[in-house]
Copies of this chain bind each other. A is one copy, B any other.
Amino acid sequence: MYKPKYHIFVCSSSRINGDQKGFCFQKDAVGIVNNFMEEIQDRELDGEVMITNTGCFGICSKGPIVVVYPEGVWYGSVTPDDVEEIMDSHIENGEVVSRLAL
């Protein structure tokens, strides 16, 4: 239950003081989170793949940032339109999307 096969983290620029501002949030990180949620549900991967929004990863100029564990693959300049490819390639076939990888 506490061990998803893949755990996807998306920076939503959420600060611990409650503010939500930053590059990733401005560049539609919420759309990225929403698209991952829809793809996970559509593919019936709820038990296997978890999505979590986060605060800043510290490399804002390369955002929006998506990090996939357990491998620890970092993706940059991600858009909501890239979510389907990350799901098809990385999550379903174990192949990193090299054009987005940092």
Number of A residues, CB within 8 Å of B: 32
Q: How far is the CB of A48 from chain B (nearest CB, A)?
A: 13
Give the oligomeric copy count. 2
With A52-B55, A52-B57, A53-B54 already in contact, the answer to whether A16 and B30 are too (CB < 8 A) is: yes
Contact B3 A72 (CB under 8 A): yes
**A4 closest partner in B (C-beta):** B72
> Is A72 a contact partner of B74 (Cβ separation < 8 A)?
no
Judge whether B70 and A9 touch: CB under 8 Å: no
**A65–chain B nearest beta-carbon distance, Å:** 9
List the 9 shortest-distance A-B pairs measured between CB atoms, nearest first. A14-B14, A18-B20, A2-B74, A53-B55, A69-B69, A54-B54, A16-B30, A70-B70, A52-B54
